[in-house]
Chains A and B, each alone.
Chain A
């Protein structure tokens, strides 16, 4: 059974048809790439999947239940984690606090514990701190746990975003241009990291990326969007040679 199933998704902003008739099915454990020229509607698809936008048509199913129209925080709690194209960290907080916040609902305690600082409060706080630290260790950020998030170098901010998304224990991870602004060296490290994360946490990943070398090496299946419509779908090899994709990226051949 598919982990994520999207049926005929459409959304217009005024006269602009951002996404039209988008279909997608992801099986557990798959790593799917979503590519397309600027303004093709990739991030809009992400925002619909995570509940930031409500689609005008179509339905979204996750893990057997329909999530169309649910609020973002509820979709997150069902197991969809995401990162943002333009990094959205909690800038003034420490690296550790950033990750702790994402842990919120995996192990919450009640108001009684909060106000009276019961033993459970301490136990939960310790659990949260340890869990958050372990996520940071995975992404090699543990040494920077006490630093303010905005003071981290760019590449580490990207990694922190992934750590934060992982802290919510997602089944499906949506990465929005994780390699944007990284140098080739960092991109290669990211590639290894994503592959390793996927193995380690048996994650299903949907990825938006402009760096073709990364997408081609990483993804088993690629979807190409243009003007809100899927124009091609297939293995990296098929996509590379698909005339419609080449046309979308490079324009029509002059005859």
Chain B
């Protein structure tokens, strides 16, 4: 039988069908949420603060998971120091916000809207710089060695934050203005997903995937593996920094405790659960893992036991994660924006179908 297999793993038809409906369903829910929350401006408070808080956290987790997936899943570098980059972004952006004086020319509300993205960007850039500095010496390590090096980096950042005066040590930084709202979180999450998606589906992304598959062959095919490894690490760190900034302005309080190894592991969990190398898988896993502890709240003390148990069961029955390396079925999306390239490719392969493939 010559049927098409994209992951090498047989997929039951039902799952395939489910994936086809996932994207339109997800988009519909997102649009609905936007409408519901937009109603606030007309005096209808439909979505409570509690639910909005969860949504914001979900968006932040999406940024974290997707950016870590670029490093771990796409480029195949096993990093568990993501919370470290997050911390850099969170502290830099929080301190910038707190130390930025009043601008004379505009009202304080307008100032908040203008300075927030700048501050987040600065946090992201600081994290990217940290990624660059850490990446250059450590990325010659492979597999578990790299994992331990990045683990060490995460700890260094935490300990530095614990001991510097400017970060106020274990007391943390309180009363950060609550700039992060649904709209900002959504905007940055969508931007992250779109940018990383575009990177992965370009020749730069192919170079990164080639490194994951076989570094020596990639090098022999003319790919500057060092450059792409450092780059993937830096881009991942940048978005982690942005997410850290969003979190800082959402929680309004940050301390080194929030950026420990457990946080890194939590992000890694989302990536593995969604499927290493699958961006849409990371998005869904981030949403599920943000919602799960809340959904399980009625179980009270058993909550975390069930949460952990769910993960164990999932890993036993679906070790490759929700999607493996595949993405959400984009048939729906493609039918909206069908590109010429794909049409041509399709007609070509149909033409060839009969005579090609002689074994």
Residues of A within 8 A of B (CB): 50, 52, 71-73, 76-77, 82, 84, 88-93, 97, 100-105, 108-109, 111, 113-117, 121-122, 124-126, 128-129, 133, 140, 142-148, 150-151, 153, 156, 164, 168
Q: Mark B185-219, 1 if CB is under 8 A from A, else 0.
A: 00000000001001100111011011001101111
Nearest CB to that of B353 among chain A residues? A143
* Contact assessment for A143 and B341 in the assembled complex, using a CB-CB cutoff below 8 Å: no
Q: How far is the CA of A124 from the CA of B225 in the complex (A)?
A: 22
Residues of B within 8 A of A (CB): 4-6, 8, 195, 198-199, 202-204, 206-207, 209-210, 213-214, 216-225, 325, 339-341, 344-345, 348-349, 352-353, 355-359
Give the chain A neighbours of B210 by CB distance below 8 A. 90, 101
Nearest CB to that of A77 among chain B residues? B222
* Contact assessment for B222 and A168 in the assembled complex, using a CB-CB cutoff below 8 Å: yes
* Contact assessment for B202 and A129 in the assembled complex, using a CB-CB cutoff below 8 Å: no
Q: How far is the CA of A121 from the CA of B199 in the complex (A)?
A: 11
Give the chain B neighbours of A76 by CB distance below 8 A. 219-222
* Contact assessment for A142 and B359 in the assembled complex, using a CB-CB cutoff below 8 Å: no
11 pairs across A/B with beta carbons < 8 Å? A52-B219, A73-B220, A73-B222, A73-B224, A84-B217, A90-B210, A92-B325, A109-B202, A147-B5, A148-B6, A168-B222
> Which of B222, B325, B356 is within 8 Å of A142, CB to CB?
B356
Give the chain A neighbours of B207 by CB distance below 8 A. 101, 104
The 5 lowest CB-CB distance pairs between A and B, nearest first, are A143-B356, A143-B357, A90-B213, A76-B222, A88-B217
* Contact assessment for B206 and A91 in the assembled complex, using a CB-CB cutoff below 8 Å: no
- With A101-B221, A104-B206, A129-B341 in contact, is A114–B352 under 8 Å at CB? no
Would you give the shortest CB distance from B73 to chain A, in whole angstroms? 12
Would you give the shortest CB distance from A78 to chain B, in whole angstroms? 9
* Contact assessment for A143 and B358 in the assembled complex, using a CB-CB cutoff below 8 Å: yes
> Which of B8, B206, B219, B349 is within 8 Å of A148, CB to CB?
B8
Give the chain A neighbours of B224 by CB distance below 8 A. 71, 73
> Which of A93, A121, A142 is within 8 Å of B209, CB to CB?
A93
Q: How far is the CA of A125 from the CA of B339 in the complex (A)?
A: 11
Nearest CB to that of B213 among chain A residues? A90
* Contact assessment for B8 and A114 in the assembled complex, using a CB-CB cutoff below 8 Å: no
- With A114-B198, A142-B352, A151-B8 in contact, is A97–B206 under 8 Å at CB? yes
Q: How far is the CA of A117 from the CA of B6 in the complex (A)?
A: 25
* Contact assessment for B216 and A115 in the assembled complex, using a CB-CB cutoff below 8 Å: no
Would you give the shortest CB distance from A190 to chain B, in whole angstroms? 15
* Contact assessment for B195 and A115 in the assembled complex, using a CB-CB cutoff below 8 Å: yes
Nearest CB to that of B225 among chain A residues? A73
Query: Which of A50, A101, A164 neighbours the largest number of chain B CB atoms within 10 Å of its CB?
Result: A101
